[in-house]
A and B are shown apart, each in its own frame.
Chain A
């Protein structure tokens, strides 16, 4: 069954969506969209390095992402430049440098479009193993650090004061993010990884009453986006990454449409007797 490239793409894409959902929620909650952009754009540097040293691409991208993430965390602590300006600058610089370096390496033939926008044909069985074993590891790690990570997301100071050790959770989270970027590169491409992270999560917001629920719904929306997007990509011969993102976007648009019965409602709210009393007093 896995002989069919399309099945491989679907299985790989779903694997990516399953980890991108919960991590994407954290990216939204912590306002890390730019951070994710910078990380994923620097993935191209990882590709260049892998080709240069003849290393495994996914693994090299993962390592480079971890290094870049740690550097960013250090830089943000020191820099006086506002962090979104800094990240915006770095995101696009990393992309540009990656492209220039790749252009210099005339001796390797690279399918640049595949790296930028994803390439469903390029997914191998080895990639699938990487995505699914890696994905399961990422999910287990995320569940382990869920409580301190979430506490630190709500308030770093509160989490520190009450002994949940948020620094460790933050570092693990960054490594997990790097891992997801490395494995999803082939499917959506470096330009659109952040979109795969945040759009399903944003679409899930409206239907969720708890963080855990939002993570689950983001997974479901992500899985359907991958399926719809890849099918469309095959049908209309469009690039894989953008097609998946367009599918996710349509879920997001659905989620913000003012459909009355989808509105999260509070069933437990009581009618306040005091209010009616007051109302009747006013002439």
Chain B
């Protein structure tokens, strides 16, 4: 076991932000936190990392646990001259070839010399993820890692996260609003709303009443109605990736989800 929280809670500004959180993460598994805005997902993740102290309950982290963190929000202000490749070495040493490999894995090698303050939102997220992976962590915390990333990128990054946890055998704590991805690629799901509403395997959670009352009956409906075909992928520097002319079920899920969303809106 990498870490565990036992009945843990955070008290701030005269209220409990989250309370009664019990969870654990094993090597090689993806645990996902889902829940509406303000439900305490980021707070729980910070507690797991030790950034926030638990005001009640117990936290346990394996000794010398090497964690990597992709925060939900990070501002690099203009006064900081910080290039992408320097940012990759923020909390660890790394050779240039290691940095290149990590940047290539999120398809942003062409940004290596750019300044952090000049990146677009999606580019920034890709840098954050590349940096987290570069550290070869035992425990990877991803707080909405693909926010603002384009459609194809989202699929590719989720696939990358899946690869990484197998390759490094690291535990992943993922926060995401993409319910379809969560349900298809994670091992355990924890549904939060200030406390743990329900948790378990994706199938169990999806069929539970708590999940339905939090996200609505139709959150996961409308599958396999329409399949989008796109036989190549564009890399971020504009070239076409010849190696990627294959389909993944993740991508299909995505287009299905979009279609389902549209359907739900029309209804």
A159 at the interface (CB under 8 A from B): yes
For residue A29, give the distance in angstroms from its CB to the closest CB of chain B.
5
Tell whether A162 pairs with B239 under 8 Å between CB atoms, given A154-B82, A210-B83: no
B90 at the interface (CB under 8 A from A): yes
Q: Report Cα–Cα, A214/B82, bound state, in Å.
A: 10
B66 at the interface (CB under 8 A from A): yes
- Interface stretch (choices A44-52, A83-91, A145-153): A145-153
Question: Across the interface, do B79 and A28 meet the contact criterion of CB distance under 8 Å?
Answer: yes
B91 at the interface (CB under 8 A from A): yes
* B169-204 to A contact mask, C-beta < 8 Å, 1/0: 000000000000000000000000000000000000
Tell whether A163 pairs with B67 under 8 Å between CB atoms, given A153-B80, A154-B82, A269-B113: yes
Question: Across the interface, do A157 and B71 meet the contact criterion of CB distance under 8 Å?
Answer: yes
B74 at the interface (CB under 8 A from A): yes
A160 at the interface (CB under 8 A from B): yes
Question: Across the interface, do A211 and B51 meet the contact criterion of CB distance under 8 Å?
Answer: no
Tell whether A208 pairs with B81 under 8 Å between CB atoms, given A268-B113, A270-B110: yes
Residue in A29, A272, A277 whose CB lies within 8 Å of B79: A29
A267 at the interface (CB under 8 A from B): yes
Question: Across the interface, do A211 and B81 meet the contact criterion of CB distance under 8 Å?
Answer: yes
For residue B40, give the distance in angstroms from its CB to the closest CB of chain A.
16
CB within 8 Å of A: which B203-232 residues: none
For residue B31, give the distance in angstroms from its CB to the closest CB of chain A.
17
Question: Across the interface, do A157 and B69 meet the contact criterion of CB distance under 8 Å?
Answer: yes
Contacts of A213 in B (CB 8 A): 81
Q: Report Cα–Cα, A161/B81, bound state, in Å.
A: 23
A122 at the interface (CB under 8 A from B): no
CB within 8 Å of A: which B70-92 residues: 71, 74, 76-77, 79-83, 86-87, 90-92
A158 at the interface (CB under 8 A from B): yes
CB within 8 Å of A: which B82-113 residues: 82-83, 86-87, 90-92, 110, 112-113
B14 at the interface (CB under 8 A from A): no
Question: Across the interface, do B238 and A161 meet the contact criterion of CB distance under 8 Å?
Answer: no
For residue B187, give the distance in angstroms from its CB to the closest CB of chain A.
22
Question: Across the interface, do B90 and A161 meet the contact criterion of CB distance under 8 Å?
Answer: no
A273 at the interface (CB under 8 A from B): yes
Interface of A is mostly: helix
Contacts of B155 in A (CB 8 A): none
Q: How many A-B residue pairs have CB under 8 A?
A: 85
Q: Report Cα–Cα, A213/B81, bound state, in Å.
A: 9
* A239-283 to B contact mask, C-beta < 8 Å, 1/0: 000000000000000000000000000111110111101000000
Q: Report Cα–Cα, A157/B76, bound state, in Å.
A: 13
Question: Across the interface, do B87 and A158 meet the contact criterion of CB distance under 8 Å?
Answer: no
Q: Report Cα–Cα, A213/B86, bound state, in Å.
A: 12
Residue in B81, B83, B86, B238 whose CB lies within 8 Å of A274: B238
Task: Select the residue from B46, B79, B114, B234 with max chain A CB neighbours within 10 A.
Answer: B79
For residue B170, give the distance in angstroms from its CB to the closest CB of chain A.
14
Q: Report Cα–Cα, A162/B88, bound state, in Å.
A: 13
Contacts of B69 in A (CB 8 A): 157-158, 161-162
Tell whether A161 pairs with B237 under 8 Å between CB atoms, given A28-B79, A147-B91, A153-B80: no
Contacts of A268 in B (CB 8 A): 112-113
Q: Report Cα–Cα, A270/B112, bound state, in Å.
A: 11
For residue A103, give the distance in angstroms from its CB to the closest CB of chain B.
39
Question: Across the interface, do B239 and A273 meet the contact criterion of CB distance under 8 Å?
Answer: yes
Question: Across the interface, do B86 and A210 meet the contact criterion of CB distance under 8 Å?
Answer: yes
Question: Across the interface, do B87 and A154 meet the contact criterion of CB distance under 8 Å?
Answer: yes
Contacts of B57 in A (CB 8 A): none
Tell whether A164 pairs with B91 under 8 Å between CB atoms, given A29-B80, A158-B71: yes
Q: Report Cα–Cα, A154/B90, bound state, in Å.
A: 9
Given contacts A28-B79, A161-B69, 19 further A-B contacts (CB under 8 A): A29-B77, A153-B80, A154-B80, A155-B74, A157-B46, A157-B51, A158-B71, A158-B91, A161-B50, A162-B69, A162-B91, A162-B135, A205-B79, A211-B82, A213-B81, A268-B112, A269-B114, A272-B237, A274-B234
Pick 18 A–B contacts, CB within 8 A, sort by A: A29-B77, A29-B79, A154-B74, A154-B90, A155-B74, A158-B71, A161-B46, A161-B51, A161-B67, A161-B69, A161-B141, A208-B81, A209-B115, A210-B81, A210-B83, A211-B86, A266-B114, A267-B113
